[in-house]
Chain A
Amino acid sequence: MKCDLAQEMIAMAVYGELPDEKTPELEQHMAGCDGCREELEAVRALAKAMSLLPVEEPSANLIARSRLRLEEAIDALPRGSWLLRGWRRFIQGFSRLRSAPVAVSAVLVAGLTAGGYSGFQAGEHAHSASASTAVVQSAAPSDDSVIDVAGIDSIAREPNSGNVEVVYNRIQPETIRGSLDDPRIRQLLLAAAQNRVNSGVRDSSLRVLADECRAGHQCDDGPVRNALMVALRYDKSPAVRMKALEGLQPYVADDVNVRDAVLEALMKDSDPRVRTQAIGLLEPVEADSSVREVLHTVSVRDDSPEIRTATRQVLDQMPQVQ
Chain B
Amino acid sequence: MSVDSLRIYPPSSANFPSSPKAKIKSSSGMAIDPSVRATEADLIREAQQGSRTAFDALVRQYDQAVLRLALHLTGSEQDAEDIHQEAFLKAYRYIGNFRFECSFYTWIYRIVTNLCLDLLRRRKSRREDQAVTFDSSGEEIDLLTNVSDQRASSNPDRELNRKYLGERIRQALDKLTPRERMVFELKHFQGLKLRTIGEILNTTEETAKNTLFRATRKLRANLAELR
List residues of chain A with CB under 8 Å of any chain B CB.
8, 10-18, 23, 26-27, 30-31, 40, 42-53, 55-59, 62-63, 65-67, 69-70, 73-74, 77, 80-81, 84
Contacts and interface: CB of A to CB of B under 8 A. Distances in A.
Contacts of A16: 7
Contacts of A18: 3
Given A53-B169, A66-B81, 13 more contacts: A14-B8, A15-B187, A17-B193, A17-B194, A44-B8, A51-B147, A53-B166, A57-B14, A57-B68, A63-B63, A70-B63, A81-B50, A84-B50
A14 B7 contact: yes
Main DSSP-derived SS at the A contact region: helix
A10 B63 contact: no
Given A58-B64, A58-B67, A65 B148 contact: no
Give chain B's interface residue range (CB within 8 Å of chain A). 35 or more
A70 B169 contact: no
B6 A13 contact: yes
6 contacts: A43-B8, A46-B219, A47-B8, A50-B169, A66-B84, A67-B63
A126 to B, nearest CB: 26
Chain B interface main SS type: helix
A31 B194 CA distance: 27
A6 to B, nearest CB: 11
Contact of A15 (B96, B144, B188, B223): B188
Contacts of A13: 3, 6-7
B50 A80 contact: yes
Contacts of A42: 220
Interface string B7-41: 11100101000000000000000000000000000
Given A13-B7, A52-B147, A62 B170 contact: no
Interface stretch (B85-93, B101-109, B151-159): B85-93
A9 to B, nearest CB: 9
